[in-house]
Amino acid sequence: MPPELQWNTKAFEAIRRSPGVMSAVDAEADSIAIECGSGYATSSVQGKTRYRTIVIPDTYKAYRDNQKNNTLVKVLSAHKLG
């Protein structure tokens, strides 16, 4: 029987907070916002255990575009598949 695996959660938290991961997360979010079109923006924050970024419609026109065409879901789905 293989030995039991012990996860080092502090190391995972350190990796998720590292500058390299933060820049990769920001780059991916920026790429998604650009692909969505004008009026979409990103917002980032350091959470309790990891760095988080969201893409949001920043103008009324972008908000309506997302409501009508489901733009964020379509672009995010394409990024996951591509």
For 25-75, what is each residue's pLDDT tens digit? 999 999 999 999 999 999 999 988 889 999 999 999 999 999 999 999 999
pLDDT for position 19: 95
pLDDT for position 48: 87
Residue 7, H or E segment: none
Q: In the structure, what pLDDT confidence band is assigned to residue 3 with cuts at 50, 70 and 90?
A: confident
Report how far apart, in Å, the C-alpha atoms of 10 and of each of 13, 17, 49, 80 are.
5, 11, 9, 28
pLDDT exceeds cutoff 90 at 79 = no
pLDDT for position 82: 61
